[in-house]
Amino acid sequence: MTASLSLQRLSWEQRRKLTGILFVLPTVLFVSVFFIIPLLMTFTMSFFDWPLFGDHTFIGLDNYTSLTTDRQFLKSIEFTARYTLLVTPPIFILGFILASLVRHSIPGIGIFRTIFFMPVVIGLGVSSLLWVWLLNDQVGIINKIMLDLGIVEKAQLFMARPDSAMAVIIVSVVWKTVGFTMILLLAGLQAIPDELYESAEVDGAGYFHKLRFITLPLMRRTIALALILSVIGSVLSFDQFYIMTGGGPRNSTISVVYWIFNNSFTYFKMGYGAAMSIVLLVILVLLSAVQFYLLRDNT
Amino acid sequence: MTTTNTLQQNESGLSPQQMRHMRNALLLGLRYIALIVLALLFLFPIVWSALNSLKPPAEALAVPPTYFPTQIVLDNYIELTTFGRVGVMQHVWNSAIVSLLTVVGTIILSTLGGYGFARFHFRGKNLLFIMVLSTLMIPFQSILIPLFVMLSNIDLHNSLFGLALVYITFQLPFGIFLMRNSFLAVPQEIEESALLDGCTSISVLYRMMLRLVLPGVVTVAIYAFINSWNEFLAALIFMTNQNNFTLPIFLTNVRSGLYGIIDWGALQAGVVVSIIPSLVIFLLLQRYYMNGLMGGAVKS
């Protein structure tokens, strides 16, 4: 009697184990086949000359040594870094201003939060197409407004010069992504107890005093998270350049992902593209390490 | 400090309370003005794109442009249906198919997987869980080349189904994370009695648990839909046959003049068509969307 009971129990537990494995199996298969294996393949491909058609030849580290003399690759790293440094501050500062403005539940605040967040759910590709029209020199409404207000004398070809192209792309990306930063910072702001501000006010602290000694220190982790997510997004940017400038003028707006795309899927130098992908991967892993360091729990 | 404040307020002839009320009312007024100005700036691109799409086609091409449509017509939308080789409806359909496959696949896999990771114990479970979540740290941009090679080898590149398989994989870490937490939040006693009564695990999941974790399922579904509906780079790489282009890829080709001179009215109509689904889903299910955002933020 006891023996059969324990056997039953054992088999029930084993059945449960098996059920659990079956439940997670599809997910594990998908992630293995469509993520882990490709990831390992990126490594191996980076040591090969790998055209779309024809044989793959092992060439050791040649792809990596070529990288160091690929001027456009080095330029694309520099461009991506510059873009990231230029786009991050406006996203963060405007995000912080918006979060402060929508912080308190005053009547109608939900509508404002929704409006500021709306562009986030639009795809970056489609929002870039939208801005292409807004900024067009002939049919674009922005040039029309600037002409009518007398800000410019003739219609501007924003995409014709590297500086103005960068500027308008930044404006479009800030519009599209700032709502996300706003919501993250809003959550951080709302987690700060009101009593802290009240007691500081009793002591006569002004706005900037409270910002410096209460808000910013208590939001350290939220701020780090908002900045790092925005930096990672910028380092991986592609859509806005592909659509708004096509990499121009004179290849001045080619990001790293764009150059990987061009090499792999326009010139079909896939091994070379894989080597660049590994470099990108290393940069991103380093950024993630910084993220973990900044978000660590102590303090 | 307090005494000086009182003195200043007395000079103006108002009680400190009145002063504070006035100051607060003024600040509130300024806050609303700032909010309204910013809101108008944020709405401006979407509103003007929509207005432009409603102009008669000739007016949409006018140089310089008109601010408001002289008449509101749907010609641009009608014109869009004959655009390209197969008309825009085919591309809306392509995007819809990929998104729906992604949503269904992501829901099934994350529900099963999330339940498995939350409630069952077997060797290697934590390792597998970490493996799934760690893919969040790796940019999908860096694995697109081998994915393209792999999908080509099994004839799934250029296939909407293949694209959906890739999208499902990209959605899984978030889906698994969120669904596992949803299941963990349900008290264990609820299923234990059912299991002791001899119900199978799958029927417990399907008949009891699914209802309890429904908010999580909705959140996962919204993200799967919006992300796959909007995705650009992978679709650009994998879909080489024009007939299979998803909406954003098709629109990019409209813009680059692949189908002749750029038709700005039709392009804006296309932009509006592709914005509407994400926007409507977000507006209707905002609460679930924000829950996902917070869940995601806490995880990092």
Please report the pLDDT score of residue B85 as a whole number: 66
Same domain for A99 and A9: no
Give B108's contacts in chain A (Cβ within 8 Å).
Answer: 26
CB contact under 8 A, B48 and A125: no
Instruction: Please check whether residue A179 lies inside any domain of the structure.
Output: yes
What is the mean pLDDT of the segment spanning A10-38?
A: 91
Residue A160 scores a pLDDT above 70: yes
Chain B residue numbers with beta carbons less than 8 Å from the beta carbon of A138 are 63-64
- With beta carbons under 8 A apart, name residues in chain B contacting A239: 232-233
- Does residue A33 sit in the same domain as residue A92? no
Residue A299 belongs to some domain of the structure? no
Distance between CA atoms of A25 and B122, rounded to whole angstroms? 12
| CATH code of the domain containing A276 | 1.10.3720.10
Structural domain span for residue B225: 78-299
> Would an 8 Å CB–CB cutoff place A223 in contact with chain B?
no
In a domain, B14, yes or no: no
Interface touch A24/B125, C-beta < 8 Å: yes
CB contact under 8 A, B146 and A38: yes
Q: Is residue B166 part of a domain?
A: yes
Look up the domain containing A194 and give its range: 62-294
- For residues A87 and A33, state if they share a domain: no
Asked if A40 and A188 sit in the same domain, the reply is: no
* Residue of A15, A16, A121, A175 to mutate for B, most B C-beta atoms under 10 A: A121
Answer yes or no: do A104 and A22 share one domain: no
Give the amino acid at B209.
Answer: M
C-alpha B128/C-alpha B170 separation (Å) is: 16
Dihedrals φ, ψ of A269, to 5°? Answer: -90, 80
Domain shared by A232 and A114, yes or no = yes
Closest CA of chain B from A124, distance in Å: 7
Does A89 reach chain B within 8 Å, measured CB to CB?
A: no
A115 and A38: one domain?
no
Q: Is residue A257 part of a domain?
A: yes
Of all residues in chain A, the percent with pLDDT exceeding 90 is 66
**pLDDT score at B264:** 82
A25 has a pLDDT exceeding 80? yes
**What is the model's pLDDT at position B245?**
93
User: In total, how many domains does chain A have?
Assistant: 2
How far, in Å, CA of A18 to CA of B193, rounded? Answer: 20
Residue A79 and residue A18 in one domain:
no
Phi-psi region of A127 (alpha: psi -120 to 50; beta: other; left: phi over 0): alpha
pLDDT at res. A1: 43
From B78's Cα to the closest Cα of chain A, the distance in A is: 19
Assigned domain for A53 exists: no
Tell me the residues of chain A between 106 and 135 that have a Cβ less than 8 Å away from chain B. 106, 111-112, 114-116, 118-119, 121-127, 129-134
Residues A24 and A145 in one domain: no
Decide if A174 is inside a domain: yes
Q: Which of A111-115, A267-271, B67-71, B271-275 has the lowest mean pLDDT?
A: B67-71
Q: Provide the pLDDT for residue A9.
A: 60
Predicted pLDDT of residue B118:
94
Q: In Å, how far is A57's CA from the nearest CA of chain B?
A: 16
A241 in the same domain as A129:
yes
Question: Could you report the per-residue pLDDT of B69-114, keeping only the tens digit for each?
Answer: 888 888 888 877 776 667 778 899 999 999 999 999 999 999 999 9
Q: Look at residue B7 in the predicted model and tell me its pLDDT.
A: 47
A10 vs A56: which has the higher pLDDT: A56
Total structural domains within chain B:
1
| CA–CA min distance A122, chain B (Å) | 6
Give, rounded to a whole angstrom, the gap between the first and last alpha carbons of chain B: 43
With a pLDDT cut of 70, the percent of chain B lying above it is 91
- For A163-172, what is the mean pLDDT? 95
**pLDDT value for B299:** 41
Minimal C-alpha gap between A34 and chain B (Å): 6
User: Per the CB < 8 Å rule, is B135 touching A119?
Assistant: no
pLDDT exceeds 70 at position B2: no
Verify that A30 and A99 share a domain, yes or no.
no
Top-confidence residue, B57 or B223: B223
Q: Determine, yes or no, domain membership for B70.
A: no
Whether A163 is in a domain gets the answer yes
Contact assignment for A141 to B165 by CB distance below 8 Å: no
The reported pLDDT for the residue numbered B295 is 63
B68 pLDDT band, cuts 50/70/90, is confident
* Residue A74 pLDDT > 90: yes
| Residue B230's CATH number | 1.10.3720.10
Percent with pLDDT over 90 in chain B? 50
Task: Look at the block and give the residue holding tokens 């800030």.
Answer: A174
- Tens digits of per-residue pLDDT, B255-274? 776 666 777 888 888 899 99
pLDDT of B258 reads 65
Residue-wise pLDDT for A209-239, tens only, equals 888 888 988 998 899 989 999 999 999 999 9
Rounded-to-integer distance, Cα A123 and Cα B274, Å:
9
What pLDDT sits at residue A248? 82
What pLDDT is attached to residue B136? 86
DSSP 8-state symbol, B65: P
Q: For residue B147, is it within any domain?
A: yes
Q: Which residues 280-299 of A are in CB contact (within 8 Å) with B?
A: 280-281, 284-285, 288, 291, 295
User: Is residue A152 within 8 angstroms of chain B, CB to CB?
Assistant: no
Alpha-carbon distance B147 to B26, whole Å?
58
Question: What interface predicted TM-score (ipTM) does this complex get?
Answer: 0.90
DSSP codes joined into one string, B91-144 = HHHHHHHHHHHHHHHHHHHHHHHHHHHHH---TTHHHHHHHHHHGGGS-GGGGH
Do A20 and B121 count as a contact with CB atoms less than 8 A apart? yes
- Indicate if A38 and A118 belong to the same structural domain: no
| Sequence-distant (≥ 6) Cβ neighbours of residue A182 within 8 angstroms | A95, A98, A99, A102, A113, A116, A117
| Opening angle at CA A233, ends A228 and A234, nearest 5 | 100
